[in-house]
Amino acid sequence: MGKKDKEIRDITDLPGIGPNSAQKLIENGYTSIEAIAVATPHELSQVTGIPLPTAQKIIQAAREALEIRFKTAKELKMERMNVRKITTGSKALDELLGGGIETRTITEFFGEFGSGKTQVCHQLSVNVQLPEDQGGLEAKAVYIDTEGTFRWERIEQMAKGVGLDPDTVMENIYWIRAINSHHQMAIVDQLFDMLKRENIKLVVVDSVTSHFRAEFPGRENLAMRQQLLNRHLHQLGRLAEIYNVAVVITNQVMARPNVFYGDPTTAVGGHVMYHAPGVRIQLKKSRGNKRIARVVDAPHLPEGEAVFAVTEWGIRDAE
């Protein structure tokens, strides 16, 4: 992050925010400049009681502090050159993804239960720790678990599978259980600080949608759910961009095509209706331990499918 003449380090440094408004913002979960930069003027105004134009100015100041601004094509090229990749454990899947999971990007794995989303997240948390010549980034992982399906036993097994010391690998994964959607977003706010201090190159949110769906069920809550989910995805996108980390999210969708009538979050094609930049991969069960991955709406990646396997030692190429 760039430094300005007058450094803006937390929300109280923003022009137009007095102690009272600051207090209200913090109580409502807007604890960081990032959180304010991605808020809407309407939200801020509702929370603090400040007039809309002031809210607009505050958001603008937060964006400037974060240097959300025009970039030159050359800068984009340089940023692109900083993108790094993490191997999935399967050559076929890596190839489908153009070499692996990318930093600076949100990668979504969606699919029905048992399709391997959580297994892929576990594997990536291990693989990010590998040396670069083996497809890793020699870095740590954060695992935000919303469903309680994280298993250290599985990490231990996968670490052995790639020849890393299991205890070291487990020390390098920071796990947290998100208890509701509000908590889930507050955790990501905290990550903006944590990633300054720690060599973390992967942030997993497994699953990104479950709390939002449970707390805002049905069509009548769809607008609210989408608004919050969008804010969450913006947060994650900023995190990926600012710290050059890979963000991996999962999203359970039903396999039966008629189900989307019952659940308005799933669109035709089976994904959540939002537009976050990134890569979307659909996972499908196949015979035995085989799984099929397909890249969805990614113009920069070739169309096609990859078959991989979930083995005792983790994600591998199918035999």
Binding stretches for ligand GTP (CB under 6 A): 111, 113-119, 149, 154, 252, 289, 310-312
- Tokens at residue 215, please? 């707390």
Amino acid at 50: I
Q: Which does 314 bind (CB under 5 to 8 A by kind): Mg ion, ligand GTP, none?
A: none
Q: Please state whether beta strands 85-86 and 101-102 pair in parallel, antiparallel, or not at all (unpaired).
A: antiparallel
Query: Binding residue for Mg ion (CB under 5 A) from 87, 118, 184, 244?
Result: 118
- Asked whether the beta carbons of 267 and 278 are under 8 A apart, the reply is no
Residue 117 or 232: the one with the smaller Cβ distance to ligand GTP is 117
Smallest separation, CB 152 to ligand GTP (Å): 12
Q: Residues with Cβ < 8 Å from 272, sequence gap 6 or more?
A: 110, 209, 229, 251, 253, 265, 266
Query: Binding partner of residue 239 among Mg ion, ligand GTP, none, CB under 5 to 8 Å per kind?
Result: none
DSSP 8-class letter at 273: S
For ligand GTP, the closer of residues 105 and 250 by Cβ is 250
CB of 228 to ligand GTP, least distance (A): 21
Strands 106-111 and 173-177: unpaired
Q: How far is the CB of 309 from ligand GTP (least distance, A)?
A: 9
- Determine if 125 is a binding residue for Mg ion (CB under 5 A): no
For the bound state, the minimum distance from the C-beta of residue 192 to Mg ion, rounded and expressed in Å, comes to 26
Q: Which is nearer to Mg ion, 59 or 173 (CB)?
A: 173
Helices (H) and strands (E) in the chain, counts: 12, 11
Single-letter amino acid, residue 191 = L
Percentage helix, strand, coil for the chain under 3-state DSSP, each rounded to 5: 45, 20, 35
Work out how close the CB of 159 gets to ligand GTP at its nearest, in angstroms, rounded to a whole number.
13
Q: Report what 119 binds from ligand GTP, Mg ion, none; CB cut-off 5-8 Å by kind.
A: ligand GTP
- For ligand GTP, the closer CB: 105 or 115: 115
Specify the residue for token string 């937390």.
Answer: 10
User: Rg of the chain's alpha carbons, rounded to an integer?
Assistant: 20
List the single partner that 290 binds among ligand GTP, Mg ion, none, CB under 5 to 8 Å by kind: none
Binding residues for Mg ion, per CB under 5 A?
117-118, 149
